[in-house]
Chains A and B, each alone.
Chain A
């Protein structure tokens, strides 16, 4: 009797013993199966934890951190004329970094006075003009005296050790900021070192190739025109390591030139997880971007869950205005502290205002973005992808035609395993003014996600290399670097024509979807099949796939039009 036949009444006939053997083996190793991703069990990129509040509540308090312990805190600083910046962003405009600092960045005089008062108290600080945050080194004793926040050490669920305020919710309140520092200082972060980030690479076996994706999404006209991303740089924020050997193997297999990414790291940002038993998130990101834009320079900003990834993000954005950035990490919105959201939002807005393009994966748990954080049922989008000033990239399942080209596409949603493209309504951000067009919910209570999509289903994932093996890897983690790669091609084309780069893409993407007069060609495959486990893909924009997936040739034509004669 086999496992399958035994499970139901009315067995139809003889069946093999494969299942029963396999099941028996798996059953015997069930405990270890849970700690390993298996052949398609999700990323093995370190533990994923519940929210800080839950960890403090359910963890063991080991006592107060010694008063002399120095913490690197970050003060969020208020922007000036935020409505003015909103208007520029909504119109798809941008300013220079100097202009941003002068008109919209924190008041330099007020910051100088604050720093002087800190210095007088023996507190070191660091700030760069235009930056919406400031680093401050304070002792645990000074934190308790200045903010009324006690920081303790904890052992949380699963054995993770961290330090955090004994009352995380109270520590998030702006009320902890001394009155003399308000309204300049809007938030304080760095009071805990609890990890919240996860990644979304999903492993299966071998999968689609660069050629497939170039065909599916009509990248070929750009590549045939000689565009390869030369002169462009794509920046990545990562929390695990890539392997040069894997990148070499990928390049060799698919006839690409070798590429050696640059790495930027800082001990304060944390340590990326080591390579594991297959391609890492970073392997995936780099290889996909390289496949689409093989002439582009790739730069990896390494951070880690054991450090301040937010510092890495803000440093990247502040030091490279106008950059092209791909991020495939995130967390349930509920686990991101108010201070973190406030500070990152300001940095992202500043970046968008200075022409930075940021793609962030929407997450891989469909509409249920908190599953990796221990909540299987909460409907949630993800922190990092929900910032209005990033382009949130969702996921699809691609069906090939008989000639290998694009046939059709469905929203990515796997009901059995509960994977799917992230999407839904942000609980953190209001509907941005540019988010209008066919299909956009006029009664939405918050920023809708995703903005766009691309192939992400693990079933139709990419054939990539890493850690000595070849594997099929999907997830919206694959979709974000794909969009970054094709944007490098478009930016190269625009630059060659003396036009401005794509920059903050969302206002233009939604404008294209509204089919303004003169638009050369519709740039999206409108996905109208499937769900992301909750929201259905429907005509026009939807919570499962956003505006759809790109016809890159058409998109390039449209951006050329938008930056030229069709400028708003």
Chain B
């Protein structure tokens, strides 16, 4: 292989503190919640890979492990009763309420509730999630359809999307919201996620709404859903 002078630019590692919002990633959850497990897994995987990986006769570029920068401090809710944990983004998501079984997160696009329960009745959990909606506030619930690609913590889930009228209890006009309820089970624990967001309205400029389920800021919902780890998950 050719040997050249090293490049004059070296991709300096940017201190995380200098990157606004740089903690918008999933790994802080891993860092805190299952740090020890992860470390063990990584070491194990690395050792396993090293043991199994055929050593190329001419090692040019793929020649071994590397280390990257550490991550920022995470924000995590952990269910003391069911052991699942959720990473959230403190600058855009507020842990508004929590208990041993679940938590409520508020974002500037709406709210998301997580509830844990024993068992694996996912369909029942979805039904219960829907029945838990306050009919005085969430009215005219209309089913949109099953949630495509439903998953919680990368565990396949089931769920249903709705639209509804949100009727503020303190007065003011009602407005349309999107409502998603989905549940997944792992290790004998079922987690239900209920999301309520101001509906992303259809408009002429985009012809069709970009959000089939009306989630105005779904990434803030999808982040904790993706980051959730059931007890024992790496």
Contact = CB atoms under 8 A, between A and B. Distances in A.
A93 to B, nearest CB: 24
Interface string A15-41: 110110011101100110111001111
Interface string A251-262: 001111100000
Interface of A: 1-16, 18-19, 22-24, 26-27, 30-31, 33-35, 38-42, 47-50, 157-159, 202, 204-212, 214-216, 218, 220-228, 253-257, 294-295, 366, 368, 371-376, 397, 399-405, 407-408, 410, 413-420, 457-460, 463, 470, 472, 493, 496-497, 520-521, 529-534, 551-554, 556-557, 560
A33 B200 contact: yes
A419 B200 CA distance: 15
A27 B7 contact: no
Contacts of A31: 201, 203
B185 interface: no
A157 B220 CA distance: 31
B53 A521 contact: yes
B56 to A, nearest CB: 4
Nearest to B19: A206
Interface of B: 1-14, 19-22, 24-27, 30-31, 35, 38-39, 42, 53-54, 56-63, 65-71, 92, 94, 96-99, 102, 104, 106-111, 113, 132-134, 137-138, 147-151, 154, 156-157, 159, 166, 168-170, 172, 175, 180, 182, 194-196, 198-213, 215-223, 225-226, 234
A405 B64 CA distance: 13
Contact of B2 (A33, A48, A205, A497): A497
B54 A521 contact: yes
A345 B63 CA distance: 39
Contacts of B113: 4, 8
Most chain A CB atoms below 10 A, which of B61, B113, B208, B220: B61
Contact of B68 (A30, A207, A215): A215
A99 B230 CA distance: 59
Most chain A CB atoms below 10 A, which of B69, B137, B172, B206: B206
Contacts of A366: 148-149
A10 B134 CA distance: 9
A556 B6 contact: no
A304 to B, nearest CB: 17
Contact of B200 (A3, A34, A209, A254): A34
Given A207-B21, A403-B42, A419-B222, 10 more contacts: A41-B211, A41-B216, A205-B92, A223-B11, A257-B9, A400-B71, A405-B65, A417-B221, A534-B149, A557-B56
Contacts, number: 379
Pick the 5 closest A-B CB pairs, nearest first.
Answer: A417-B218, A226-B4, A404-B68, A533-B149, A553-B61
B63 A407 contact: no
Nearest to B56: A520
Nearest to A208: B25
A428 B103 CA distance: 47
Contacts of A371: 208, 210, 212
Contacts of A257: 8-9
Most chain A CB atoms below 10 A, which of B4, B99, B107: B4
Contacts of B234: 408
Given A26-B216, A414-B222, A407 B66 contact: no
Contacts of A222: 61
A368 B134 contact: no
B147 to A, nearest CB: 5
Contacts of A207: 21-22, 24-25
B96 A2 contact: yes
Contact of B96 (A8, A18, A493): A18
Contacts of B107: 19, 22
A521 B134 contact: no
Contacts of B106: 2-4, 15-16, 18-19, 22
Given A407-B27, A413-B149, A415-B147, A38 B172 contact: no
Nearest to A496: B2
A400 B222 contact: no
Contacts of B204: 157-159
21 contacts: A8-B194, A12-B104, A18-B106, A19-B107, A19-B108, A23-B109, A23-B110, A23-B198, A30-B175, A30-B198, A41-B217, A157-B204, A205-B21, A206-B24, A208-B25, A254-B11, A257-B8, A463-B22, A534-B148, A553-B63, A557-B62
Given A4-B113, A413-B149, A205 B20 contact: yes
B207 A47 contact: yes
A530 B150 CA distance: 10
A414 B218 contact: yes
A405 B9 contact: no
Contacts of B205: 34-35, 47, 158
Given A4-B106, A8-B133, A402-B42, A33 B60 contact: no
A226 B111 contact: no
B6 A459 contact: no
Given A4-B106, A22-B108, A415-B159, A40 B220 contact: yes
A91 B189 CA distance: 51
A58 to B, nearest CB: 10
Contact of A12 (B25, B92, B99, B172): B99
Contacts of A294: 7, 9
A472 B213 contact: no
Given A12-B104, A214-B11, A472 B21 contact: yes
